[in-house]
């Protein structure tokens, strides 16, 4: 026979064990879920910071000289990652020893989403890194008695000291540091032509297809305009030239290792020169030959023997390109000569088209 006090003690003991069991169960489910969420977020944030650091260290000069859109993306990624680490870092550390229950569908989905977010960050940051200009190209971005160089967040301008009446708006190739074209564009300014290189958002000309309009509006004294570009830049420039040719617009199109995005053979009032490289592994000779039918019948074609795709600028070798059999300097001299001759002909062509 037991006393009432003993029964009460047993009841209290049972209640304490039951409450302790409930607390352990809650920790093994909710606590583990919180820990898992925190760990996933912390891993993604930390990895994102590492990716941004790698991109910044490897391409900082090109990032700083290009359109600020890419740098802004990096800054946003860093701010988000730092915020996640500050909010979830402590929680993930505190919950590191919490027993984990069985993985639920919801947990699996969250893990997949975290992994996808990390892949997206890596893809964006690494893919859009600029191809940085060589030191010799950057060295040509200085004023002298013949050319004044002006650089802004969105363009690089080479202006002849003696003034100019003909200008070229140039769209760089995809992801190429705009400074890389100084060796082939500065000589055009030395020959008397205004040259403005547009810095494209994320290094992609499609994101700034209409940029030539602002350049033309900012230089009302220029009487004759050509637009042009290298590779993808040339393709996008062809769209602008097609849509803005004629009176008060564009007189010429300069294609460097590029071809139009579609037929424009009916643009008879547009002067066109296509300068290509014989050993180009990207805009191949076959690609250029196929573009003949898409361009006006008066289009001129100049092939630089032994040259490759990357020789139109100076940013090192390019993946997928061919093997050169001529020096970069010799190839660029021929590119400049063909382009300068074309720009010199624009006033006469414009007069002839008016007649």
pLDDT per residue, tens digit, the chain (355 aa), is: 444 444 444 444 444 444 444 444 434 444 445 555 667 788 889 999 999 999 999 999 999 999 999 999 999 999 999 998 888 776 555 555 444 555 567 777 777 887 888 899 999 999 999 999 999 999 999 999 999 999 999 999 999 999 999 999 999 999 999 999 999 999 999 999 999 999 999 999 999 999 999 999 999 999 999 999 999 999 999 999 999 997 778 999 999 999 999 999 999 999 999 999 999 999 999 999 999 999 999 999 999 999 999 999 999 999 999 999 999 999 999 999 999 999 999 988 766 555 5
- The pLDDT of residue 91: 59
C-alpha distances out from residue 204 to 14, 121, 243, 347, Å: 70, 18, 19, 31
- The pLDDT of residue 88: 76
Contacts of 49 (CB under 8 A, 6+ apart): 77, 78, 81, 82, 85
- The pLDDT of residue 114: 79
Q: Which domains are assigned to the chain? A: 11-127 (no CATH), 144-354 (3.40.50.1820)
3-state secondary structure the chain: CCCHHHHHHHHHHHHHHHHHHHHHHHHHHHHHHHHHHHHHHHHHHHHHHHHHHHHHHHHHHHHHHCCHHHHHHHHHHHHHHHHHHHHHHHHHHHCCCCCCCCCCHHHHHHHHHHHHHHHHHHHHHHHCCCECCCHHHHCCCCCCCCEEEEECCCEEEEEECCCCCEEEEEECCCCECHHHHHHHHHHHHHCCCEEEEECCHHHCHHHHCCHHHHHHHHCCCCCEEEEEEECHHHHHHHHHHHHCECCCCECEEEEECCCCCCCCCCCCCCEEEEEEECCCCCCCHHHHHHHHHHCCCCCEEEEECCCCHHHHCCCCCCCCCCCCCCCHHHHHHHHHHHHHHHHHHHHHHHHHHHC
Distance in angstroms (rounded) separating the CA atoms of residues 230 and 236: 9
- The pLDDT of residue 102: 57
Task: State the pTM of this model.
Answer: 0.85
């Amino acid at each position: 026979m037991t006393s009432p006090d003993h029964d009460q003690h047993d009841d209290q003991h049972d209640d304490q064990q039951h409450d302790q069991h409930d607390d352990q169960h809650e920790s093994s489910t909710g606590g583990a879920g919180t820990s898992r969420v925190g760990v996933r977020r912390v891993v993604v944030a930390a990895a994102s910071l590492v990716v941004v650091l790698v991109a910044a260290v490897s391409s900082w000069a090109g990032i700083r000289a290009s359109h600020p859109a890419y740098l802004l993306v990096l800054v946003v990624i860093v701010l988000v990652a730092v915020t996640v680490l500050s909010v979830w870092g402590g929680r993930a550390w505190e919950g590191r020893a919490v027993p984990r229950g069985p993985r639920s569908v919801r947990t699996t989905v969250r893990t997949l989403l975290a992994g996808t977010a990390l892949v997206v960050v890596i893809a964006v940051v690494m893919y859009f890194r600029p191809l940085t200009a060589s030191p010799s190209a950057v060295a040509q971005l200085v004023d002298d008695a013949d050319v004044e160089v002006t650089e802004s967040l969105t363009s690089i301008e080479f202006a002849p000291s003696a003034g100019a009446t003909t200008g070229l708006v140039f769209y760089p190739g995809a992801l190429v540091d705009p400074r890389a074209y100084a060796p082939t564009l500065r000589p055009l300014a030395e020959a008397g032509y205004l040259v403005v290189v547009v810095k494209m958002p994320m290094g992609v000309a499609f994101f700034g297809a209409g940029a030539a309009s602002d350049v033309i509006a900012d230089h009302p004294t220029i009487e004759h305009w050509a637009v042009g570009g290298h590779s993808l830049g040339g393709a996008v420039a062809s769209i602008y030239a097609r849509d803005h040719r004629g009176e008060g617009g564009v007189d010429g199109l300069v294609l460097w290792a590029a071809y139009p995005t579609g037929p424009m053979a009916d643009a008879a009032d547009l002067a066109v020169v296509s300068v290509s490289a014989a050993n180009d592994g990207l805009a191949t000779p076959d690609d250029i030959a196929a573009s003949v039918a898409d361009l006006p019948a008066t289009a001129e074609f100049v092939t630089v023997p032994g040259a490759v795709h990357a020789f139109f600028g100076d940013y090192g070798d390019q993946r997928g390109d061919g093997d050169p059999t001529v020096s970069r300097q010799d190839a660029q001299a021929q590119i400049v000569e063909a382009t300068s001759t074309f720009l010199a002909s624009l006033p006469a062509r414009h007069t002839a088209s008016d007649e």
